[in-house]
Chains A and B, each alone.
Chain A
Amino acid sequence: MQIRGGDGGEMRVKRRRDDRRAAWWFLAPVLLGFAVFYGYPAARGVWYSLTDYSMLNTPSYVGAENYAKLASDGQFWNALLVTAWYVVLNIGSQTLLALGVATLLHRLTRSVVLRATLLLPWLVPNVTVGLLWMWLLDTNLGFVNHLLAVFDAGPVGFFTDQTWAMPSIAAINTWAYTGYTALLLYAGMLQIPQYLYEGAAIDGAGEWRMFRGITLPLLRPVLALVLVVSLIGSFQIFDTVAVTTKGGPVSATRVIYYYIYQQAFTYFHMGYAAAAAICLALILGVLTAVQMRLLRASRSDLA
């Protein structure tokens, strides 16, 4: 606290004493919310993971039994694998597309209306997005299969075919989040000094060389950050699966979030579900740490 002036020292002492009391009032609602809905449940979650609990009985301590069962649970590993497959498909396509769209926007226009338009799918609930595409991709009546019929292809059971179900869900979410991701990358591109492009143009560099030589290297920190955020979000896919396939066909789309949800609220294996949730939290924690290190390593690029 810097209070200038003759009686600054006296004021500082006075304020410090007052602040302590005031601070409690300022913080009370947030600290209450944090303690009751973050701190307490986190501790309780760890405890449940060590118990046998069905929501009807009182939890009984079973040690690491839930974790041991998870390690040999084929469905759990399958759920992780299926989730990883989804993340690869979704993040891969979404990031590449978003990079392309952001570059086009950046080199062509500064229009706010255009950017706002790209944001529309992101504003729509995932449930609506799921319904919309279930209809568009419907095997018999869907628009996309009509389109395929024009080219003498299909019909494809986008949600009922085991090989197609996961790519379909990944594509849907790519549709929903590419615009948003593109705008984040575009915001990063706006930070790159314009004179670099002007200089390169005078030197006769083409658009592709500018992209490789200027945009991509200078965007790396922003790109890394956007990757962390979308990766962590992507791992937590639930809504779209819950609406469209409910984990099927067979277990082709039973992602980890849906698996935990089923264990907890279909079979009432609360302790087991809590243990699985902790495993997921650990995976996400490691991912965050790795990506943060990547981010720090790449920061040197921005002079």
Chain B
Amino acid sequence: MKSRLRPGRVLAWLALAAFILITLFPFWWMVRTALTPAADIYTDNAGLLPRHPTLINFSRILGLVSEERARAAGGSGARIDFAGYLLNSVIYCGVIAVVQTLFCAMAGYAFARLRFPGRDLVFGIVIAALMVPPIFTLLPNFILVKDLGLINTMAGMVAPTVLMTPFAVFFLRQFFLSLPREVEEAAILDGSGPWGIFWRVALPMSRGPLITIGITTTVWAWKDYLWPLLVGRGEDNRLVTVALGVFLQQSPNTQPDWTGLMAASTLSVLPVLVLLILMGKRLVQSLNFTGNK
């Protein structure tokens, strides 16, 4: 029977390998193009390795070379500073992930453990927002942020998501419900109030789920495009995603500046790649966790 299975298994592995190849090849091609001099783009665009590898595309989009040199290397002459955009994106994701996770943990704990009138009703209303598609609140939120004078500020960009998302509240409440009560009860007998129990008992016991929701929030924030495009178009607060879109439109000729664009794309992938390498196991396991809910 084993021998009957073996050819099938080999085929199955081959199919899986083919899928992984298709998954990874575009990334290889991205890096390969980023390392190609712009002048070679018409003649050297089919081999697996660039003929004259160079780092000039990276240094010119990071603003490390003079404008003339950048233009000579294929740039449009417009000011481009991807180091700044990367920093903006990191701040944007960091602030949202940390603050949102903390506030949603507090609310999740209150909905799971504290007793107060109207608890289930309030929770139901907050969760109902899960059903509202973002476009529905996007237009009024834009007008609100505009009226508050927060266009082109980091505050305006993080405002709608920094305090809460319904999903994070829901997810963390589910987790706190599953925590054993005994430890908290011991803390109550020691005279701790709800606040003390939350900080000293419940939070330290929930490191795993907090990190999970924090990473998930970071990934989604890293991918954000439409909202930062509307609110953070200005140079000072521009995120990597918005900058990539602007970069594409700044093309000098009809042909986009592909080598520069691929260098910029590589920079936009690098941070999530690091996240995947450091946190891959937890990310993969978090899918088990949320996927079965």
Residues of A within 8 A of B (CB): 1-5, 11, 15-16, 18-20, 22-23, 25-27, 29-34, 36-38, 40-42, 44-45, 48, 55, 97, 100-101, 104-105, 107-108, 112-121, 123-128, 131-136, 138, 141, 143, 146, 175, 179-180, 183-184, 187-188, 190-191, 207, 222, 225-226, 232, 235-236, 238-239, 242-243, 257, 260-261, 264-265, 270, 273-274, 277-278, 280-281, 284-285, 288
Bound-complex Cα distance A115 to B141 (A): 38
Extra pairs beyond A143-B29, A238-B226, A242-B245 (18, CB < 8 Å):
A19-B114, A20-B115, A55-B143, A127-B244, A135-B258, A136-B29, A141-B41, A175-B26, A184-B291, A188-B292, A236-B134, A243-B244, A257-B135, A273-B139, A277-B138, A280-B133, A280-B135, A281-B135
Can you give 11 contacting A-B residue pairs, CB < 8 Å? A27-B107, A29-B164, A107-B12, A108-B13, A108-B16, A116-B276, A127-B245, A141-B45, A141-B255, A222-B292, A242-B229
Contact A123-B275, Cβ < 8 Å, known A29-B163, A128-B268, A236-B133: yes
Interface string of B103-139 (1 = CB under 8 A from A): 1101101100011110100100110010111111111
Q: Which 10 A-B pairs have the closest CB atoms?
A: A33-B163, A116-B280, A41-B140, A26-B110, A30-B107, A123-B272, A44-B140, A29-B103, A33-B164, A184-B291
Contact A26-B194, Cβ < 8 Å, known A16-B115, A108-B12, A141-B45: yes
Most buried by A among B166, B229, B287: B287
Contact A30-B135, Cβ < 8 Å, known A16-B115, A19-B114, A37-B163: no
Interface string of B147-161 (1 = CB under 8 A from A): 000000000000111
Task: List the A residue with the shortest CB-CB distance to B159.
Answer: A37
Are A120 and B27 in contact, CB atoms less than 8 angstroms apart?
yes
Bound-complex Cα distance A270 to B143 (A): 10
Task: Tell me which of B17-25, B58-66, B67-75, B76-84 binds A.
Answer: B17-25
**Which residues of chain B have C-beta atoms less than 8 A from A261's C-beta?**
226
Bound-complex Cα distance A236 to B223 (A): 14
Are B106 and A26 in contact, CB atoms less than 8 angstroms apart?
yes
Contact A131-B292, Cβ < 8 Å, known A29-B103, A40-B144: no
**Which residues of chain B have C-beta atoms less than 8 A from A4's C-beta?**
185
Contact A45-B23, Cβ < 8 Å, known A141-B45, A187-B288: no
Bound-complex Cα distance A261 to B227 (A): 11
Most buried by B among A190, A222, A274: A274
Task: List the B residue with the shortest CB-CB distance to A24.
Answer: B116
Contact A11-B139, Cβ < 8 Å, known A124-B272, A222-B292: no
Contact of B137 among A30, A38, A191 (CB under 8 A): A38
B92 within 8 Å of A by Cβ? no
Contact A38-B129, Cβ < 8 Å, known A27-B110, A124-B268, A278-B136: yes
Q: Give B28 Cβ to nearest chain A Cβ, in Å.
A: 10
Contact A132-B133, Cβ < 8 Å, known A34-B126, A113-B280, A146-B46: no
Contact of A265 among B140, B230, B262, B288 (CB under 8 A): B230
Tell me the dominant secondary structure on chain A's binding face.
helix
B265 within 8 Å of A by Cβ? yes
**Which residues of chain B have C-beta atoms less than 8 A from A121's C-beta?**
23
Q: Give B113 Cβ to nearest chain A Cβ, in Å.
A: 8
Q: Which of B187-243 contact A (CB under 8 A)?
A: 188-189, 193-195, 198, 219, 222-226, 229-230, 240-241
**Which residues of chain B have C-beta atoms less than 8 A from A134's C-beta?**
256
Task: List the A residue with the shortest CB-CB distance to B8.
Answer: A207
Most buried by B among A48, A131, A277: A131
**Which residues of chain B have C-beta atoms less than 8 A from A26's C-beta?**
106-107, 109-110, 114, 194, 198
Bound-complex Cα distance A146 to B29 (A): 13
Are A243 and B136 in contact, CB atoms less than 8 angstroms apart?
no
Are A116 and B281 in contact, CB atoms less than 8 angstroms apart?
yes
Q: Give B152 Cβ to nearest chain A Cβ, in Å.
A: 15
Interface string of B1-42 (1 = CB under 8 A from A): 000000011001101100110111011011001000000011
Bound-complex Cα distance A25 to B188 (A): 19
Are A30 and B163 in contact, CB atoms less than 8 angstroms apart?
yes
B177 within 8 Å of A by Cβ? no
Q: Give B173 Cβ to nearest chain A Cβ, in Å.
A: 11
B162 within 8 Å of A by Cβ? yes
Contact A128-B269, Cβ < 8 Å, known A23-B110, A236-B134: yes
